[in-house]
A = this chain, B = another copy of it.
Amino acid sequence: MDNTTAQCPNHHPKRDYSHCSNCRLSGICLPLALEVSDIERLDSIVQRGKPLQRGEVLYRAGDPFTAIYAIRSGAVKTSHSDREGQEQITGFHLPGEVIGLDGPANNRYRNTAIALQTTSVCAIPFPELETLSRQVPGLQRNLLQLLSREITTEQRQFGLLGHANADGRVAALLLSFSVRHERHKLSPSEFTLPMARGDIANFLGLTLETVSRVFTRLQKQNVIHAKGKDIDIRDLDALRQLAHNPEDL
């Protein structure tokens, strides 16, 4: 029902963000550092559908792998489940981030991606992207970087679960959101988490109750102020110290 311009963020309804070349996210997304003419070629294969509502599935584990997705607005969680049906959330993804990179491994998505809010994405069909990236070296580089960065991100999280206690894990998560918000020139200290406590707990390998207790504890120590999903970071250094934070997030 919508035309392409309808996917623009609600608060800027008049501007046309429906092309990579004028997308506000081009600085952190796949087109990064490409020439204008190359961005246009990339743009020509990108597909923009209508926004997903909260809870809608973008792709499901086991689906044939067709495209990777750049998030334009909103938030997405990715998860996979073992055969006992036990769900493990593998990540929370914000605008400018690309998901579906688990697909090329065996031509099926390994994860399920679900919108946490109203979310709009750019679909980048993978076969086309592969072809194009053979012709555009910078794009090939960006694609490889994207995958490699995903690897290092996972490794960091892996290290977190390996060596941090409950406080450290929650602190690291909050810091991660903080710096990702800052990247968008949003406040790094005040933001709203897109997911519920249960999702945080699942992601961090803790129970819902423990996460809740950590939030109250951090609040009593005046490190953060949290009302539900609304977070206000009061003492960034304390948070960093708790998270034992390795370089960037």
A residues at B contact (CB < 8 Å): 80-84, 86, 88, 90, 101-106, 110-111, 130, 133-134, 137, 140-141, 143-145, 147-152, 154-155, 157-159, 161-163, 202-205, 244-247
Contact = CB atoms under 8 A, between A and B. Distances in A.
B103 A246 contact: no
Given A80-B159, A82-B245, A105-B149, 6 more contacts: A88-B155, A88-B158, A90-B155, A90-B158, A134-B134, A158-B158
B244 A155 contact: no
B154 A155 contact: yes
B161 A158 contact: yes
A133 to B, nearest CB: 8
Q: How many copies does the complex hold?
A: 2
Contacts of A84: 244
A84 to B, nearest CB: 5
A140 B147 contact: no
A247 B61 CA distance: 12
A172 to B, nearest CB: 10
Contacts of A203: 162
B148 A103 contact: yes
A205 B162 contact: yes
A148 B83 CA distance: 21
Contact of A159 (B90, B105, B140, B141): B90
A26 B199 CA distance: 42
